[in-house]
Chain A
Amino acid sequence: MKRISTLLVAVACMSASSAHAVEPTPNQTPKTEVIGAIKGWTGNEVLKLSLPVTKFQLKNGLTVLLVEDHSVPMVSYHTWYRVGSRDESPGVTGAAHMLEHMMFKGAKKYDGKAFDRIFHENGISNNAFTTNDYTGFYQNLPSDKLELVMDMEVDRMSALALKPEDLKSEKQVVMEERRWRVDNNPMGVVRETMMSTVFKTSAYHWPVIGYMKDIERYDSDKLRFFYSTYYVPNNAVLVLVGDFDTAKTKALIEKYYGSLEYRPLPRREYPKEKTQTVQQNATIKKDVQNDSFIVAFQSPAQSDPDMYALDLAANILGNGTSSRLHKRLVYQKQSATSTYAFNYAMKEAGVYAVGVNMKPGVDYKETLEIVYNELWKLRNAKISDLELQKAKTQTIKELVDSLKTMDGKARALAVNEIVTGTYETLFSDTAKYQAVTADDIKRVSEKYTNQTQRSIIVLEPKNKKGAANE
């Protein structure tokens, strides 16, 4: 549930609303009756979520999900591809993200600056993002612009320009993006270090945005290979939510996308991560005001049923002012300004982590011991029913809240379809979370959070001495 949106890399930072993906879920196909609304929630009954989804596939393999919703005269239009940084290799890290940027630089029918200009002129907002596992493009458009957007998306899905001179200036833009997200942002450095420490052999070792030396070296041939391999209809999911007629829109999609060619995808072998057997440590020294640290563990891929219990365990440790870490470190000890925990489950593997930001002038070591103790408690003592219920309610409510807007619905459907193979996991998740027991929380804690499985990432001020205490 707790996706780190900061791990996502969006093409534009004009909005804080880049990508808030919904937690990917196990690959199960439950029978969800589509009622078109949300069934009531009374006491202990499981809240049933459902949306009236029409799903079909074109002959060329394009998967399409449609949800008619006339609440406002707009459409949220999402085109996601099953390609991310895990499809790269050392030397071309960040290529998937670079390609995402190049998707705005013109194709055959709409060349050069046409994408920015035409979206702008027609009252359409748009953006895109890249993650470890997938790349998403989206628009929010007045509903009478549907065909225009379709035409443009088909153009760049089938005939991207990828001009060398455009690549040259866009590489500069991406380098600035990297400085902004990572090099000039201490927490960005910590996150990058965490991923490279937890994952040694898998493709999650390198950052989605790539390393600076690789960004400098991209050439358009390398990117073209990436494009022609993965930007094919059978590797894409199209999700439309909004003010349209389903039958008419289905016909339009067949008309616009139908002639695109199916191209078999290469067999993809992703390097498996070795099981960690000894504690890893990484210390970063920077010109910062305070200590901070993350304790991270390898956790299972999104398709593993353990994911649900780990999500709830992370919630109990670090979600909000009623969480165990906040109470103990921010409120009682008053040594930290904030604490957090997450379980970030991806296609191949996940990372389960706990983080603390210390007050300036307070050393982290004693607090690190307290964090170990809190992890130990989850491994050795059963949590109360009340605390378990709190974690479930928070997690399920987050799911409900993510479906408030057309864009939110489209995003939730897309991420589930892409990551689990069926959008229906979005609706079966609530029952899965409800089914988690206190024993499950203890069991997954025992399984994943032992001392030898830890990676400790510490960030501390360069010239550490007792900073002035207020």
Chain B
Amino acid sequence: MNKLAQTLTLPLMCAALASCAGKGTKTASTQAVPTGYSAPRSAGSFKLMPFKEVVLENGLKIIYIRDNSLPRLSLTVLFKTGNMQEPKDLAGLNAMTAYLLEQGTQTRDAMKIADEFGQMGTSLDVSPGFDVTTIYADALTSNSNQLLQLFADVLMNPAFKDAEINRLRSQIMASLKKKVDNPSAFADEQMDQFLYGDHPYGRDANGTPEGLRTLRKQDIIKHYLTFYRPNNATMAVVGQFDDEFEKQLQETMGKWTKRTIPTLTATPAPTIESTQVKLIVKKGLQQTQIRVSQLGIQRKDDDFIPLRMANESLGGSFGSRLNQKVRDDLGLTYSIYSGFDSRKDRGSFDISTFTKNETAVKALDETLKVVKEYVEGGSTEQEAVAARNQLVGQFPRAIETSDRLAYNLLVLDYYDISYEYLTDYISNVNKIKQKDANNAMKRHVDPTKFKVVVYGNESIIPQFKDYKPEIVRLAK
């Protein structure tokens, strides 16, 4: 949900789209041969930068992409762990584990690690999420070896010292508390909770105050030993490097021990019987944030691309119906967009906008009207052509840089979707007919069953009485 804006900007970057039937197998030509890099060939028209895959004995899969256009290289590790792998009463466990990696190892303390990354002109980028957690760092080529040694140390030898755990716990608690001052982020978080209930997607990736208070050092160590394993990770190595560096990297990462990874099941999200509105009221707000959501699809759903195409005309860009109506014609907002956020488990379909307090209900009414009309009536042929052109026309940006390509490959690998997804993307989009996109939208979006979160000041309460809302007043 929070990634929506980005997903819209780069049609593939964040969700590394995939359409193909769930269980793709990797194309034979991408299988690793010691020095051979290859650009996968397929029936598709798009040629990717050459890359190669290697799987180490400990199960770590490495994707190499050589790119000499800039004197730099980057390392990314994607762990198949997130909110989904933590118990509710320990919410925040995965984020704590991830952030603590750079807060001290067996041979370096937190400040030394920060200094060493800093000296290379970089920092460690740690992103704990719902399904996956990514760790990224990059450097100029002259620092390749230092980068590798430091990166490996942080991943493989974290110290998890008590002082660091307490420091970080207090940090995250403080940032959770401050979220209410950022109306947009707060509305997103409240929407997630309302939509997903006790399902792990309903919680901030950084956890909850209760969970953070409860978790102990042994929980962190156990979580690390269970999920932060080479056979639960994929690594991407991108940029300017040579055979020697590959050899060294494999030697270094090969020392990491594998373990059996357990599978967990999540509490299902609640079903929605009819549209429900929740008003969250806070004094002093100058504007109302509005979120409209329902459960969407899993990433592996065959309707992934048809839905993306259908959404393009509804709320995907400036030319979309929502933007033309609610922003351009009515002047009710500066921004409105809709999108499908697809994940390992069922994701969501979300609409996000804001307006002045006085026009809160009008903005919601008009939004729902546009959605209902679109789901029931479908797009016009002209809209379908435009949507196809948008997806096809903007596609190259998603794989324009070697880092972006690597990210897409990592995500596809995570969802077990063939890389042909990228090579065949354009031809697959061009095959989608107007009625396919419209039918997909009808199948997956029910305009009578939305959950709605409205975050504004007291003046919004009387406006919404017809919606029979639940009202939550935030204490001063």
Chain A residues with a Cβ under 8 A of chain B: 12-17, 37-38, 40-43, 47, 71-74, 104, 113, 116-117, 119-126, 140-142, 145, 168-177, 179-180, 183-186, 286-290, 320-323, 326-327, 330-331, 334, 337, 357, 359-360, 386, 389-390, 393-398, 400-401, 403-407, 463, 470
Given contacts A337-B171, A393-B120, contact A186 B181 (CB under 8 A): yes
- A330-B171, A401-B138 given. 18 additional CB < 8 A pairs? A14-B5, A15-B5, A41-B140, A72-B396, A74-B400, A120-B386, A121-B382, A123-B389, A145-B393, A176-B332, A183-B286, A289-B178, A320-B114, A321-B123, A322-B114, A394-B122, A398-B121, A406-B400
Please classify the interface of chain A as helix (H, G, I), strand (E, B), loop, or mixed, using the class held by over half of its residues. mixed
Inter-subunit contact B72/A397 (CB<8 Å):
yes
Given contacts A15-B8, A122-B393, contact A397 B140 (CB under 8 A): yes
The reply to whether the CB of B284 lies closer than 8 angstroms to some CB of chain A is: yes
Inter-subunit contact B170/A359 (CB<8 Å):
yes
Give the interface centre of B167, B181, B324 by most chain A CB atoms within 10 Å: B181
The reply to whether the CB of B245 lies closer than 8 angstroms to some CB of chain A is: no
Inter-subunit contact A400/B175 (CB<8 Å):
no
Mark each residue of chain B from 146 to 172: 1 if its CB lies under 8 Å from any CB of chain A, else 0: 000000000000000000000100110
The reply to whether the CB of B25 lies closer than 8 angstroms to some CB of chain A is: no
The reply to whether the CB of B249 lies closer than 8 angstroms to some CB of chain A is: no
Inter-subunit contact B170/A13 (CB<8 Å):
no
Q: How far is the CB of A349 from chain B (nearest CB, A)?
A: 29
In the complex, which residue of chain A has the Cβ closest to the Cβ of B387? A120
Inter-subunit contact B394/A404 (CB<8 Å):
no
Report the tally of A-B residue pairs with Cβ distances under 8 A.
Answer: 223
CA distance A16 to B345 in the complex (A): 26
CA distance A243 to B40 in the complex (A): 23
**Interface-located stretch among B333-341, B366-374, B415-423:** B333-341
**Nearest 7 A/B pairs, CB to CB:** A123-B393, A120-B319, A172-B331, A322-B118, A397-B121, A72-B396, A393-B121
In the complex, which residue of chain B has the Cβ closest to the Cβ of A322? B118
CA distance A102 to B271 in the complex (A): 44
Q: How far is the CB of A169 from chain B (nearest CB, A)?
A: 4
Q: List 18 A-B contacts (CB under 8 A).
A: A15-B5, A15-B9, A37-B69, A42-B142, A113-B324, A116-B328, A117-B319, A122-B389, A123-B390, A125-B394, A169-B331, A290-B181, A323-B118, A396-B121, A397-B122, A401-B72, A405-B397, A470-B174
Inter-subunit contact B286/A179 (CB<8 Å):
yes
Q: How far is the CB of B475 from chain A (nearest CB, A)?
A: 11
Inter-subunit contact B119/A360 (CB<8 Å):
no
Inter-subunit contact A321/B118 (CB<8 Å):
yes
CA distance A37 to B70 in the complex (A): 8
Chain B residues with a Cβ under 8 A of chain A: 5-6, 8-9, 69-72, 102, 110-111, 114-115, 117-123, 138-142, 167, 170-171, 173-175, 177-178, 180-183, 209, 213, 282-287, 317-320, 323-324, 327-335, 337, 354-356, 382, 385-386, 389-394, 396-397, 399-401, 403, 476
Given contacts A73-B396, A180-B354, A183-B286, contact A403 B70 (CB under 8 A): yes
For B102, the chain A residues whose CB sits under 8 A away are: 321
For A287, the chain B residues whose CB sits under 8 A away are: 282-284, 476
Q: How far is the CB of B8 from chain A (nearest CB, A)?
A: 6
Inter-subunit contact A175/B356 (CB<8 Å):
yes
Inter-subunit contact B331/A123 (CB<8 Å):
no
CA distance A359 to B71 in the complex (A): 39
Given contacts A16-B9, A41-B140, A400-B70, contact A71 B400 (CB under 8 A): yes
In the complex, which residue of chain B has the Cβ closest to the Cβ of A178? B334
* B393 in complex: contacting residue of A141, A175, A286, CB < 8 Å: A141
Inter-subunit contact A405/B401 (CB<8 Å):
yes
Inter-subunit contact B121/A394 (CB<8 Å):
yes
Inter-subunit contact B286/A41 (CB<8 Å):
no
Inter-subunit contact A180/B332 (CB<8 Å):
no
In the complex, which residue of chain B has the Cβ closest to the Cβ of A101? B334
For A337, the chain B residues whose CB sits under 8 A away are: 171, 174-175, 178
In the complex, which residue of chain B has the Cβ closest to the Cβ of A406? B400
Inter-subunit contact B393/A173 (CB<8 Å):
no
Q: How far is the CB of A101 from chain B (nearest CB, A)?
A: 10
Inter-subunit contact B119/A393 (CB<8 Å):
yes
